[in-house]
């Protein structure tokens, strides 16, 4: 008889699996902008320093320092811009007298002429006399007697101390700032009563 022969060939396909897990919060690009103040340079002795711009070499050094700080990468496309400009100092508000403050002016206008004049006189005297009275009050508080036990000890100690000799020549004492302010208040109330009225007239007229 005739024989039958069969053959089967199996081909296996190779399979490669690759898994890539990126880190959390990866940085794609960094852009940094830095503003640097002018440098203070003393040109002459005895004069205040002046503000001057940085030299190109100094700007390049600072730019390189910023790049090192942020981890600059050229391949990543990072950029660093450094600008040198003078910083503006904060303006110091002017010390406006009490009778020239906008709130006080508005109050005087709303009260009218007679009451406004009285308010101005009170403000002027308050600004001159109140510091004097406050200084005297603090001085009186400093001279208050100590508690009983301490007072007795101090008194006995004072009795044991010999009296100091009197100065040979009297010394001329200069008036204090408090005395000068009090004298100014007295002179203003005595000699220039019209000046305060003119201030109120300026308020009322809106000048």
Average pLDDT over residues 169-190: 64
Residue that finishes a domain, picked among 19, 52, 84: 84
Q: Are 108 and 200 in contact (CB under 8 A)?
A: yes
Convert the pLDDT of each residue in 184-204 to its tens digit.
Answer: 666 665 666 666 666 656 655
Q: Could you give the number of structural domains in the chain? A: 2
**Full residue range of the structural domain in which residue 38 is found:** 31-84
**Residue 77 region, left (φ>0) first, then alpha (ψ -120 to 50), else beta?**
left
Q: How many CB atoms lie within 10 A of CB 203?
A: 22
Q: Are 79 and 31 in contact (CB under 8 A)?
A: yes
Rounded CA Rg of the chain: 43
- Distance CA(133)–CA(44), nearest Å, equals 47
Please check whether residue 20 lies inside any domain of the structure.
Answer: no
Q: Are 52 and 117 members of one domain?
A: no
Please check whether residue 3 lies inside any domain of the structure.
Answer: no
Give me the phi and psi of 52, to 5 degrees please: -135, 150
Q: Are 74 and 39 members of one domain?
A: yes
Please check whether residue 133 lies inside any domain of the structure.
Answer: yes
- Distance CA(54)–CA(85), nearest Å, equals 9
- Distance CA(180)–CA(178), nearest Å, equals 5
Convert the pLDDT of each residue in 19-37 to its tens digit.
Answer: 887 777 778 899 999 999 9
pLDDT at residue 62 greater than cutoff 70:
yes
Average pLDDT over residues 38-61: 88
Q: Are 38 and 78 members of one domain?
A: yes
pTM of the predicted model as reported, rounded to 2 decimal places: 0.35
């Amino acid at each position: 008889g005739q024989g039958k022969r069969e053959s089967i060939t199996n081909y296996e396909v190779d399979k490669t699996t690759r898994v890539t897990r990126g880190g959390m919060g990866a940085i794609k690009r960094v852009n940094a902008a830095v503003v640097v103040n002018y440098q203070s340079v003393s040109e002459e002795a005895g004069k205040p320093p002046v503000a001057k711009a940085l030299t190109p070499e100094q700007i390049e050094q600072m730019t390189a320092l910023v790049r090192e700080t942020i981890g600059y990468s050229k391949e990543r496309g990072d950029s660093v811009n450094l600008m040198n400009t003078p910083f503006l100092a904060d303006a110091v508000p002017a010390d406006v007298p009490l009778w020239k403050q906008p709130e006080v002016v508005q109050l005087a206008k709303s009260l009218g002429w007679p009451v406004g004049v009285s308010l101005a006189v009170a403000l002027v005297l308050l600004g001159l006399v109140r510091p004097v009275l406050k200084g005297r009050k603090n001085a009186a508080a400093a001279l208050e007697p100590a508690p009983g036990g301490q007072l007795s000890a101090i008194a006995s100690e004072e009795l044991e101390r010999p009296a100091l000799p009197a100065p040979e020549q009297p010394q001329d004492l200069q008036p204090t700032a408090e005395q000068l302010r009090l004298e100014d208040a007295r002179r203003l109330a005595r000699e220039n009563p019209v000046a305060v009225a003119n201030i109120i007239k300026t308020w009322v007229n809106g000048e």
